[in-house]
Structure 1
Amino acid sequence: MAHIHFVECNTAHTGSFAIDVPAGQHWLLVITKTPAQFWVNGGLKEYPSHSVVLYRPQQKVYYRSCTGHFVNDWIRFESDEAYITESPLPFGIPFALSDPQYCQKLIELLVVERSFNLDCKESSTDHLLRTLFNKLWESYFQDKITPQHYNLLKLRTAIQSNPGDYWTVSRMADFLRISPGYLQNIYKKTFGISCMDDVINSRIRMAKEYLIHNAQSIAEVASRCGYQNVEHFCRQFKQITGRTPGNFQKYAKN
């Protein structure tokens, strides 16, 4: 089990902010929201926003703001769990975080767990930390993360959360303020699927849920999933699932 001494999310500091601990006492995890300088291999080095660094106990900790302000999430904790003590992550060396929003939500939940002394506090804290470290591992072993990656991630989250919206390549490109051609290129390279195929797959996935668990008509399902034409919806649904919406609904319920 892990014991959290302190955890904060979106902590803001002035431009003169600096942390200088020659020999840290506990485990410390820091996730930056703004650029910062870290002491690495005997010198200061600047790292961009969305960097994460893990310090082991008794390790020198030094980092500071390098802009007009500094914002970060951080956790100071104790743990003898192997997923932390034997972690493949580098100690004291920042690396890019691939999904900052996901990790921030986990840290926000850790703040809540620490604030209330509930029956399952220890277990919930442990599970949240394990999930957070899974995300850190994914980030560390991911290919180079470009600044555009975070905007693409926001776009994909918006698509999959609201597939029924009016999504076009032009609208998605405007979302990121880039050209439609460039969007199609980098989206496919980043996620292994075209942006419009991602929209279609998300719509069909939603349609399956509505066909199985709701009493709506096929026309209503089509409209809710972003289709203005029922025939187009039926044709696309069959192309992906191998069944018409009506046959899929009967098959699933039986």
Structure 2
Amino acid sequence: MTTSIYYVGYDAAHPGDFIYDIPDGHDFWLLILTQTPAEFWVQGEIREYPANCAVLFPPRQKIMYRACSGQFVNDWVRFETDESYVLETTLPRGVPIPVPDPGYCRQLFQLLATENFFSCDYRELSIDYLFRILFNKLLEAFQSKENSPHYQKLLNLRKAIHNRPGAEWSVRSMADDVHLSPGYLQTLYKATFGISCMDDVIQCRIRLAKERLIHGSLRIADISELCGYKNVEHFSRQFRRIVGCTPREYRQSVDLRL
């Protein structure tokens, strides 16, 4: 079972009169990710779709899309495969689907381009892994019920929380960041991710604290401050409530196991 790339490109920019029209389709698969709005031939008519959509064209299916708002920018890959996760995918064929986290998918296209360019020992295996991840993300996007108008803002907020758990997070500051009321933010965040925004902050802080307690020699007071706690006693109480022991006891238990 293999997947072979004919060509892969990303951030490909085209002028406003761009049109791609292949009436009988290709002999290979084509997957594109739009970065700008575009018009596609879908079910016998031209329809306009917003930016950040993915479209999978199987071999020998009509392909037609064009720019509709000035410059057209997209990522794309032409490939051949006999992998079941592609051949039997439930993704619609030739129909754009919104991608809630396009930046992540664009990074996968860039990695595919890099792996395809170099002749490394694990090139084919790496390409296969990247394709599997990409198709998983597209299936998540297709099956997701959370693609509300605010989803991308919530996703960016969650990324920021996980990247910087020690920042001075509060419901009010997070609500201001995403331009929502505090109450509406808390409702949307819990419905989207299954956890409240402040509980997410606390979980990330405790995870960072455990990492620093295991690896490194920082004082507990310093770890507390690093994780966003102004009061070491508050940090210790919260750590014990979640982990079941104090930070000092946790460090000692890890040292004993080592």
Q: TM-score, normalised by structure 2?
A: 0.94
Please, which of 182, 191, 198 is the counterpart of residue 196 of structure 1? 198
Deviations 1:92-147 (A, max 9, x none): 11112132222111111111112212221111111111111111111111115123
Letter in 2 for 1:120: Y
**DSSP-derived class of the 1:118 partner:** coil
Pairing 1:8–2:19 present: no
Q: 1:144 to 1:95 in 2, by over 3 A?
A: farther
**DSSP-derived class of the 1:147 partner:** coil
Moved over 6 A (4+): none
2:126 is aligned to 124
Pairing 1:239–2:241 present: yes
Letter in 1 for 2:196: S
Deviations 1:169-209 (A, max 9, x none): 22212221222222222111111111111111100011111
**DSSP-derived class of the 2:203 partner:** helix
Letter in 2 for 1:229: N
The sequence identity of aligned pairs, in percent, is 50
> How far 1:240 moved relative to its partner?
1.1
Residues in 2 aligned to 1:54 and 1:15: alpha-carbon distance in whole angstroms: 23
1:89 is aligned to 91
Alignment of structure 1 residues 98-109 onto 2, 5 Å: 98-109=100-111
Residues in 2 aligned to 1:253 and 1:9: alpha-carbon distance in whole angstroms: 48
Letter in 1 for 2:114: V
2:21 is aligned to 20
Residues in 2 aligned to 1:16 and 1:154: alpha-carbon distance in whole angstroms: 33
Contact 2:41/2:64, CA 8 A, preserved across alignment: yes
Letter in 2 for 1:6: Y
Aligned length: 254
Contact 2:85/2:132, CA 8 A, preserved across alignment: yes
Farther off after superposition, 17-26 or 55-64? 17-26
Contact 2:146/2:192, CA 8 A, preserved across alignment: no
> How far 1:157 moved relative to its partner?
0.5
1:175 is aligned to 177
**DSSP-derived class of the 1:83 partner:** helix
Residues in 2 aligned to 1:214 and 1:69: alpha-carbon distance in whole angstroms: 50
Q: 1:128 to 1:192 in 2, by over 3 A?
A: same
Residues in 1 aligned to 2:89 and 2:255: alpha-carbon distance in whole angstroms: 45
1:53 is aligned to 55
Letter in 2 for 1:24: G
Please, which of 162, 165, 168 is the counterpart of residue 167 of structure 2? 165
Letter in 2 for 1:18: I
Q: 1:94 to 1:144 in 2, by over 3 A?
A: farther
Residues in 2 aligned to 1:244 and 1:220: alpha-carbon distance in whole angstroms: 15
Residue ranges of structure 2 left out of the alignment (5+ in a row): none
Please, which of 209, 212, 216 is the counterpart of residue 210 of structure 1? 212
Q: 1:224 to 1:184 in 2, by over 3 A?
A: same
Letter in 2 for 1:156: R
**DSSP-derived class of the 1:64 partner:** strand
